[in-house]
Amino acid sequence: MKKETKNKIVTGLEEAISHNNSFYLIDYKQMTAWQMVELRKNLKRHGFQLKVVKNRLALRALADRFPELKSYFRHSTAIALTDQDPLALAKLLKDFSQQGKVLEVKAGIIEAHYLSPEMFGEIVKLNSKMDLIARIGYLMSYPLTQFLRTCQAPLINMGRLLSVLKQKRES
């Protein structure tokens, strides 16, 4: 490969990393070509990217910004990138690996923070960002709902009492 081509690949990868806030390093050495195509399609369908680059070129692109990732560039390494929810990408990769596909997440970076393989396993167990926001909204509205119910209780009880008195008068 010519030096200009290598430089273009490194520059392209550096730009992709800078435009995306999170990425995961994936070991795909035991995957077939069809499984890799299926993974690419699945990631693209959800708005994520998958780049397969030579390890030396990836190291040139990432070594300065993320020195803790140097040891993970052995064997077959692909980079799954996202500028959206990094948890959604992690869950998608985990689901793909659990479907019998031989895929292993080596490490990752989530918004400039290093993520070890052990931490990846823990992050996948978390709820998505939207679920957490919905849960916070519910927890914030719950006391207000209870307060309104408490305020309305005397009026409801008064209405029931009047209804019972009306039925007694009619009978």
Query: For 80-94, how does the pLDDT look when each residue is reduced to its tens digit (9 = 90+)?
Result: 999 888 888 888 898
The per-residue pLDDT for range 158-167, each reduced to its tens digit, is 888 888 888 9
pTM for this model (two decimals): 0.72
DSSP bridge partners of 104: 27
- Within 46-116, residue ranges assigned H as helices are 55-62, 86-98
User: For 12-70, what is each residue's pLDDT tens digit?
Assistant: 888 888 888 899 999 988 888 888 899 999 999 999 999 998 889 888 888 888 888 88
What are the respective helix, strand and coil percentages of the chain, to the nearest 5?
65, 15, 20
Task: Tell me how far CA of residue 51 lies from CA of 108, 114, 132, 136, 139, in angstroms.
Answer: 14, 19, 30, 36, 40
In single-letter form, the type of residue at position 87 comes to L
Fold adopted by 3-126:
Alpha-Beta Plaits (3.30.70)
Residue 26's Cβ-count burial label (10 Å; 0-12, 13-18, 19+) is buried
Q: Buried (b) or exposed (e) across 87-98, using 16+ Cβ within 10 A?
A: bbbbbbbbebbe
Alpha helices in 46-128, H assignment, sequence order: 55-62, 86-98, 117-124
pLDDT, mean of residues 165-171: 87
Q: How is the chain split into domains, by residue range?
A: 3-126, 128-171
The CA-CA-CA angle for residues 30, 91, 12, to 5°, reads 70
Our CA angle for 163, 166, 171, nearest 5°, is 130
